[in-house]
Amino acid sequence: MRAAQWERWRRLAACLLVVCMPLPPPGSAVTKMKLRGYITARIDDRTVAILDDKLELTAASRITGQDANGEHPLAIADLGPGMLIEAEGQWLDRHRFFAEKLTVDLQDAEKQIRGAAYLQEEPGEANKISAGEAAGLKADGYWLDLTERTHREWDAVKVATTSATGTPAGTKEQALAGDQVKYAGIRGSDGRIAAERIELGPPAPAEAYKMPHDLEVVRGKDPQTGIDVIEFRHGNKVQGRMKLFPVRSVQEYVTTLGDSLLPPGNRGTTQALEFRFFVVEDSSINAASLPDGTLIINTALLGAIQNEAQLAFVLSHEIAHVLQVHYWREVHETRGQRVGLVIAGIAAGAFTGDLGIFLAGMGVASVVNGHQRELENQADRLGLQNVIEHGYDPREAPKFCKMIIERYGDRSTSKLWSNHDSSLMRGSFLTVQLMRQYPEGHFEQARRDSSAFRAMREAMGPVKIE
């Protein structure tokens, strides 16, 4: 009886909570909102959090999980950190959200991890991997642990004797960097992946690093004003120009930082890459990486970034897009759905005021507007791993997303990297990735800022930020 009485009291309390929620003004319609992101904390038996937003549930809330077999009812007790959810309901306060309906992506919550990535550096234990011995492998932003039971399809001949170019592996700086690795395994409590299967595949083809339509990005000067610009050329015709930020020390700082973050595997690609970093005058908080290694960083992004650790993550994320050939993968994997791409109808030599609109006309909208979520998550994993290895505090990455949310108060769209996944989705994924992959933390002594970053910001002066 005591249990039954408790259940009745619990349901009454749930109903009272619903009744006591703020009502809309008379005559107005209730505005339903949706939040999408990863649960970053379990607050209590009725509340979960996505970053700083608390999602409150009652017995009346409908909770379901979706997987390959369809939809399944879930209880509040089933919810936990790391789950990808979509909540529908209404705001009660600035960071309080009542969820009438909540859907969990159960496939995303599985501990079984599988994927494919191009190696961004030479494996330290390649010989052990090929010999079937226990070994570790860093790939796709994860640490993979291989045992004698791991099924391996690994080119032992290539590892032991020659690289793809016929150079002795012992003398070539990169023998396997740039090659593809496919894997499957189980994530452990320490964040490492116990690999059940590992396969070494070929590198991405040279065409994966080429711009569409043979487009080229070159540095030049505007013939009318003489100011420094970058030009988008198709043959001898200038399709558009973007104004370079005129302070040389700012350009040099971003280039120096970007070069310092390049993983060694960038020299192992089938197409020789020259990473170039250009700071352009643009008031949107944005950055873009093009397939050929060109990175474009808007002045507004540099003005919004709070410290060097955050900028290092943004650059590492964009570098990963290039080395993982994300643009080529999207074109290649969705080729059947695409129609012929045409050059944008921009007057020759005109200044491009919106990089996203211009590149959309070039057929490379995804490099500004965001790739598929799976590829964005991959770039985020690799970005986090890269900044950690360079001594930066990775917690600054989700902090930047939180700052964007607080600044703009919009969780459904993003002011970070244009129309990429919302800042709530991005920030919660980064938080969960740090929880899963680096449960021990220990980032208190990691770098956040530098005198060079502060000098760059001082040299910039005030910049326009939309």
Helix count and strand count (H, E) for the chain: 13, 20
Cα dihedral 145/146/152/155 (nearest 10): 80
- Pair of tokens at residue 131: 């010999």
Question: Which residues are CB-neighbours of 35 under 8 A, at least 6 positions away?
Answer: 50, 53, 55, 86, 87, 97, 99, 411, 412, 424
Report which of residues 417 and 41 the model is more confident about: 41
Burial 66-86 (b: 16+ CB within 10 A, else e): beeeeeeebebeebebbbbbe
pLDDT tops 80 at residue 17: no
pLDDT at residue number 328: 86
In this model, does residue 407 exceed pLDDT 90?
Answer: no
Taking only the tens place, the pLDDT of each residue in 51-76 is: 999 999 999 999 999 988 889 999 99
Residue 252: strand, helix, or coil: helix
Domains delineated in the chain: 23-105 (2.40.50.320), 112-203 (no CATH), 208-460 (no CATH)
Cα 458 → chain centroid = 29
Q: Are 47 and 80 in contact (CB under 8 A)?
A: no
- Kind and range of the H or E element at 436? helix 423-437
Residue 270 pLDDT greater than 60, yes or no: yes
What's the average model confidence in pLDDT over 271-280? Answer: 91
pLDDT at 252 over 90: yes
pLDDT score of 357: 60
Segment 88-114 mean pLDDT: 89
Contact 122, 174 (CB under 8 A): yes
Tokens coding 200: 């070494």
Q: Give the range among 22-31, 49-58, 316-325 with minimum mean pLDDT.
A: 22-31
Higher pLDDT, 80 or 357: 80
Q: How far is CA 147 from the centre of its chain?
A: 30
Distance CA 134, CA 128 (A): 7
**pLDDT tens for each residue of 176-228:** 999 999 999 999 988 899 999 999 999 999 999 988 778 889 999 888 888 99
| Each residue's pLDDT tens digit, 326-379 | 888 887 775 444 433 333 333 334 444 556 566 665 555 544 444 577 888 899
Largest CA distance in the chain: 87
Which residues on neighbouring strands pair with residue 216, listed in sequence order?
233
